Amino acid sequence: MEIPLTPLDFLRRARKLHGLRIGVVDGDRRWTYSEFGARCDRWSSALQRLGVKHGDRVAYIAPNTHAQLESFYAVPQLGAVLVPINFRLVADDFRYLIQHSGATVVCAGADHLAAVESIRADLTGVAHFVSLDGPRDGWLDYESLLTDASASFTRPAIGERDLLTINYTSGTTSRPKGVMITHRNAWMNTVGMLAHWPMTPADAYLWTLPMFHANGWTFTWTVTAAGARHVCLPKFDGPTVFKTAAREGVTRLCAAPTVLIMLASSPAAAKALAPRGVAVMTAGAPPAAVTIQRIEDDLGWSVIQIYGLTETAPAISICEPLPEHQTLSQDDRARIKARQGVELITSGELRVVDDQGNDVPLDGKTPGEIVARGNVVMAGYYNDPEATEKCMGDGWFHTGDAAVVHPDGYVQITDRLKDVIISGGENISSVEVEAMLLRHEAIQEAAVVGVPHEKWGESPHAFVVFKSGQSATADALRTFCRGHMAHFKVPHDFTPVTELPKTATGKIQKFVLRKGRANINAQ
Amino acid sequence: MEIPLTPLDFLRRARKLHGLRIGVVDGDRRWTYSEFGARCDRWSSALQRLGVKHGDRVAYIAPNTHAQLESFYAVPQLGAVLVPINFRLVADDFRYLIQHSGATVVCAGADHLAAVESIRADLTGVAHFVSLDGPRDGWLDYESLLTDASASFTRPAIGERDLLTINYTSGTTSRPKGVMITHRNAWMNTVGMLAHWPMTPADAYLWTLPMFHANGWTFTWTVTAAGARHVCLPKFDGPTVFKTAAREGVTRLCAAPTVLIMLASSPAAAKALAPRGVAVMTAGAPPAAVTIQRIEDDLGWSVIQIYGLTETAPAISICEPLPEHQTLSQDDRARIKARQGVELITSGELRVVDDQGNDVPLDGKTPGEIVARGNVVMAGYYNDPEATEKCMGDGWFHTGDAAVVHPDGYVQITDRLKDVIISGGENISSVEVEAMLLRHEAIQEAAVVGVPHEKWGESPHAFVVFKSGQSATADALRTFCRGHMAHFKVPHDFTPVTELPKTATGKIQKFVLRKGRANINAQ
C-alpha cells in the first residue's frame, strides 16, 4: 500500500493523539494541538473561500508567530504552495519575490505592512492582502477571517511530489532563486531529524531560528510530528531567550553560530536564568569550536551540528556523536563538533569530489566540493530550469561548498568555494583563519576575505568585532596568529568594525565586506 | 530529486561511515561493517553467477546466523526477492512454501538439510541447493561459493515498489499466505523504529527474535541503519541470553511475551549475570502487565511494546511513553505498557472500527476491529489476489484483531476476532482472563479458549502451565478468578498442561487447544 509522504500527516497524528496537549505557545497565548489544528482548518477554509486552489502560491512576511506556524499547515492542506519570505529584507526584495513566485495572496505581520503598502501598486497579481496582527485599513484581518470561516474545507488530493513550499535563497551574490520543496522532501527531512535527534511529547522547542529559513530546518513539522511543544518567539535577545526557555521548560532550540555567539556573549546575570541541559542544533555556517565550547561550558547546553542548504530541505549531514568521541578531551570533542559530519540515515548520499568528480582522499587535507544525491534534494528552482540544470543536471546536487574529509569520514567545510582565498598559489580557508581569531581573548566575531594583492594574487584581510570594552592592535593580532598557524594564512590587514553584515539567518555577507574593502582602498 | 527508498541504502551508509566498526558478531566470529558488506557483495556475485536475476525468489531456512543476516542484503541487492522461511516448520510446510514462492535457490542451515533432502524430489523448480553451515554431499557450499566469487557484481536498477521479501504468515487457521513486502515498506518501518526507539553506533542488539519473522521486526535493517552491532544467536535459553548480553555489551533486544516469560522464569543465578538497563521491544501477542513488571523489576530492563502483523511490515502501533505516565504508580505504568498504544510517526493511520466502519468511542470498553492505512502495509499476498482483496480491498488493511480505545487514544487488543469468547451474549476477552490467571502465584503461562456450551453457547476453558514445583486445584483457581473479575468471565474448566502449543514466534496456537479440548471431550 502506498500513501503520499506529506508532513501534513504529522498534524493529523498530533491532533488525534495529543489533542489535549499544549502544542503551541506564543507569548501569553497557548493552544492545544486540537485548537491549533482547528485554527489551521479554519484558515484553509477562509483561503479556499478567497479562491486559493491547488498549486496557487500564498506568500508570508512574518516573524516566528503562531500565525506564521499555522501557515505551514493551512496553505499546504489546500494543495497550495507556501512562500515564506525573509521578513528582514526590504520592500524592493518583497516586490521581486512576490512577483517571481506569482503569489495571489500576501499575508504580513505588523512590522511589514508599511513595506508592502509601498509596493502594493506593483503587485497586480495579488488578489488579497491579509494583516496577521490585527485590523488595518485596506487589508483583510486574519482573526476576523478565521472567525467567519467554516470549520471545514474541501480537502484536495495531494501527491508526495506536489510542491509544498518555495523558499528563496539568501541571494548573497545574485537574485534570490526559488527553491521548490516537495511534500516528500520535507517529510524525509523531518523523520531524519527525529531519527538522529529524537524528540518526544515531553520536549518543548524554542523558535529562535526563523521559520521561513528552509522552514526552520523542518522543525515547523518536526516538533508537531513528535507531539512536542512549539514555543514561538517573534523577537529576541539573549535575556529573552533565557527567560522564555526557563518559563516554558524549553529543552531544544536551533540557532546559527552567530546567534550562539550572541547567547554566549550575554551578561552573566542573564545566563544565570537559562535552564541547564538544553539541546541545541546549529547550522547555517560552520561554527567555531570555541563557540560550541562556550555554549557547553557556560550554559551546560549540548550542541550538535547539521549542515545543508535551502536546496536540500535542508539537512544533508549531521555531526553524529560516536562512542569513541566520549573518551576525547573536551577540546578535541569541541573540535570534532565543529565539523559538518556525515550524511543522515534518510538524506541519501554525500560525497566530496574534485573537479573531475572523483572522491577526494580521506586525509583531512585535500579539498573538494560537497555534492549530494537523495530525497531531501529540492525538485529544482522555480521557473529557472537553467539554474536547476547547472546545479543538479548530472544527478548530483552541487553545493558550492569546499570541504575536506577526515580519516573517519567526517566532512569539514573549509569554505564556500567562492570564499576560498588563493594566496601565492596556496589555498587559505577563511573559516580556519576566523576560527583562530575567535580564540583571541579580545575578539567576539571575525570574518576573513581575500583582497587583491600585487605579489600574492590575493591576501587575507580580517574584519573583527571586539568584545565590549576590549581591543587589540593589528600587530598584536598578527603576532597571535603567527604563533598558531602557517604564516601565509595570517591576515595582512585587520579592520575593526562594530558589527558584521549578515543575512537574516546569520550568514556573514562576505561580498559586502569585499565591496567595503574596495571602498576603503578607493578612499 | 527522488531516489528509491530501500533498506539497502542503510548498508551503503554503514560501510562508508562505520566500515571499521564491528557490525556483526556470531559466536566467536566478528566482522566489521566493511567485511560484512564485502561478504554480502560476494554472495550477490555468486548468486548472479548461479543465474539469479531481478524478481527471482531465493528461499532460506536458517536460524539467526550471520549467513541469514547476509541474505537480507545479498539477495535484494540483485533485485531478487528473499523468502525467509520459518525454520521451526516441518518438511511438508517447506515443500509448500518453496513451491508456492517459486524459489529457484534454497539455502538451508545444518539442522534443516535433512528435512529439505526428504522433499527434494518434489522441488523441481529449484535449480540450486546451498548448505550454509559447511560442505555437504549434493549441496553447494556457502563459504566455498563466497571464496570463489568475484568481489563485485552487476547492480540492477531497483525501484522502491519492487518486492524485497515474501514472508509467510504463521497460518494458524489456513494455508500460510505470502506477504509481499516492498523496499519502501521496509525502509518506512526502519525509520519509524529509529524515530521512536532511537539507536546509535554505541548500541549492540541481541538477535533473540527470529530474523525470518517479519524480518525481525525490520531490525535486520534497523541495526545497520544505526551503525549499531548485530549479535547473532542461533539457539538460546535464559542463561545463554544473559551470558551473551553481558559478554557483548548488549543494550537492545526484541522478544515475544512468551520469551519474556521464559527469561523472567530463569533461575536467579542466571538472571544475576544479566547486564542492567537493556531496552526490550516486545510484540507478537499482547503481553500481560505482570510479565512486563517482572522483566523490569527482576532484571532492571525497560520494556516497550509495538503491535503489528507480518502484513504491516510489521509495526502499526507503539506504546509510546508519555510525560504524564511518569507520575503513575509502577502498577499503573505496567498496565499502560501492556496496551498496544498509538500509531507510529511513519506508519500511517490506525483506527478501531465497528462493523459499519465507524470509529468506536474512546471509552476503553467498546470493542471494534483494528484497521490500518499506510506505507508499511504490504503490497498484497503473493499470487493470491482474492485474499488481498478481502483484507485490504477497501483501502484499509483489516487486522482481524479486536480492540478497545482508551480515552487517551491508546489502543488495547482484547482478542483476535476469532478468539473472542461469546458466552450468554457477553463478549469475553481471552486475553483479559489470561492476564488475570498470570497474577496467580502458581501459574507460569495460561491460554483461554471458548468451548461449546449447551446453555451459554460458549464457555471459557483455561489451559495452564504451573511454575516448577507448584500447582493449584481447579476450585482454587476458580475462586481466585471470582475474586478479581466478573463471574461470567471465569473459566468453567481448567486443564493443566506441561507446555502450550506455539508458533515459531511464540504465538499460542489456540486452534490446537480447541482441537485438543474437542478430543478430550470425545474420549
In contact, A86 and A213? CB cutoff 8 Å: yes
Collapsing DSSP to helix, strand or coil, B374 comes out as coil
Question: What's the DSSP call for residue B358?
Answer: P
Residues on chain B touching A2 (C-beta within 8 angstroms)? 161, 184, 375
What cell was used for B69?
543476516
> How many contiguous H segments (helices) and E segments (strands) does chain B have?
18, 25
The string of pLDDT tens digits covering residues B307-341 is 999 999 999 999 999 999 989 988 888 889 889 99
CA neighbor of B463 nearest in space, from B421, B517, B417, B415: B517
State the nearest Cα–Cα gap between A221 and chain B, in angstroms: 12
Q: pLDDT per position in chain B (523 positions), as tens?
A: 999 999 999 999 999 999 999 999 999 999 999 999 999 999 999 999 999 999 999 999 999 999 999 999 999 999 999 999 999 888 988 999 999 999 999 999 999 999 999 999 999 999 999 999 999 999 999 999 999 999 999 999 999 999 999 999 865 556 789 999 999 999 999 999 999 999 999 999 999 999 999 999 999 999 999 999 999 999 999 999 999 999 999 999 999 888 998 999 999 999 999 999 999 999 877 788 888 999 999 999 999 999 999 999 999 999 999 999 989 988 888 889 889 999 999 999 999 999 899 999 999 999 999 999 999 999 999 999 999 999 999 999 999 999 999 999 999 998 777 788 888 777 788 888 998 899 999 999 999 999 888 777 788 999 999 998 999 999 999 999 988 888 888 999 999 999 998 876 677 888 888 876 644 433 3
Distance CA A147, CA A142 (A): 9
Tell me the pairing of strands B493-496 and B457-466: parallel
Distance CA B201, CA A414 (A): 27
Do B198 and A198 lie within an 8 Å CB cutoff? yes
pLDDT of A505 strictly over 80 = no
Per the prediction, chain A carries an average pLDDT of 93
Q: Across residues A160-178, what is the average pLDDT?
A: 85
What cell was used for A515?
565591496
Mean pLDDT lowest among A249-253, A283-287, B309-313: A283-287
Do A195 and B200 lie within an 8 Å CB cutoff? no
In contact, B178 and B166? CB cutoff 8 Å: yes
pLDDT of A462 strictly over 60 = yes
Collapsing DSSP to helix, strand or coil, B44 comes out as helix
Terminal Cα distance for chain A, rounded: 69
User: Which pLDDT score, from 0 to 100, does residue B172 have?
Assistant: 54
In contact, B239 and B271? CB cutoff 8 Å: no
* ipTM reported for the complex, 2 dp: 0.88
Residues 6+ apart with CB under 8 A from A296: A302, A303, A334
Q: The domain A347-417 belongs to what CATH superfamily? A: Luciferase; Domain 3 (2.30.38.10)
CA atoms within 13 A of residue A519's CA, in its CB half-sphere = 7
User: Which pLDDT score, from 0 to 100, does residue A519 have?
Assistant: 44
Do B374 and A3 lie within an 8 Å CB cutoff? yes
Tell me the pairing of strands A204-206 and A252-255: parallel
Mean pLDDT lowest among A221-225, A280-284, A382-386, B504-508: B504-508
> With respect to CATH, is domain B420-522 assigned 3.30.300.30?
yes
The string of pLDDT tens digits covering residues A435-460 is 889 999 999 999 999 988 877 778 89
Angstrom CA distances, A397 to A82, A134, A372, stand at 23, 42, 5
User: Which pLDDT score, from 0 to 100, does residue B253 have?
Assistant: 97
Which of A3, A198, A321 is opposite residue B195, by nearest beta carbon? Answer: A198
Which of B3, B195, B392 is opposite residue A374, by nearest beta carbon? Answer: B3
What cell was used for A96?
521581486
Question: What's the DSSP call for residue A359?
Answer: B
Residues on chain B touching A251 (C-beta within 8 angstroms)? none
State the nearest Cα–Cα gap between A218 and chain B, in angstroms: 15
CA neighbor of A166 nearest in space, from A51, A77, A40, A58: A58
Do B1 and A392 lie within an 8 Å CB cutoff? yes
Residues 6+ apart with CB under 8 A from B476: none
Which of A1, A194, A397 is opposite residue B345, by nearest beta carbon? Answer: A194
Do B375 and A184 lie within an 8 Å CB cutoff? no
State the nearest Cα–Cα gap between B1 and chain A, in angstroms: 5
Q: Across residues A181-186, what is the average pLDDT?
A: 98
Mean pLDDT lowest among A222-231, A332-341, A370-379: A332-341
Collapsing DSSP to helix, strand or coil, B215 comes out as helix
Beta-bridge partners for B388: none
Collapsing DSSP to helix, strand or coil, A449 comes out as strand
Residues on chain B touching A397 (C-beta within 8 angstroms)? 1
Among chain B residues, the shortest Cα distance to A10 is held by B345
Among chain B residues, the shortest Cα distance to A223 is held by B345
Among chain B residues, the shortest Cα distance to A326 is held by B202
Do B348 and A201 lie within an 8 Å CB cutoff? no
Distance CA A486, CA A413 (A): 19
Domain boundaries, chain B: 8-235, 340-417, 420-522
Distance CA A518, CA A250 (A): 45
Do B191 and A346 lie within an 8 Å CB cutoff? yes
Collapsing DSSP to helix, strand or coil, B21 comes out as coil
Distance CA A44, CA A49 (A): 9
Q: The domain B8-235 belongs to what CATH superfamily? A: ANL, N-terminal domain (3.40.50.12780)
What cell was used for A375?
530525497
CA neighbor of B461 nearest in space, from B483, B436, B499, B430: B430
Q: pLDDT band at residue A517, thresholds of 50, 70 and 90?
A: low
What cell was used for B403?
480492540
Residues on chain B touching A377 (C-beta within 8 angstroms)? 1
Which CATH number describes the domain made up of B340-417? 2.30.38.10
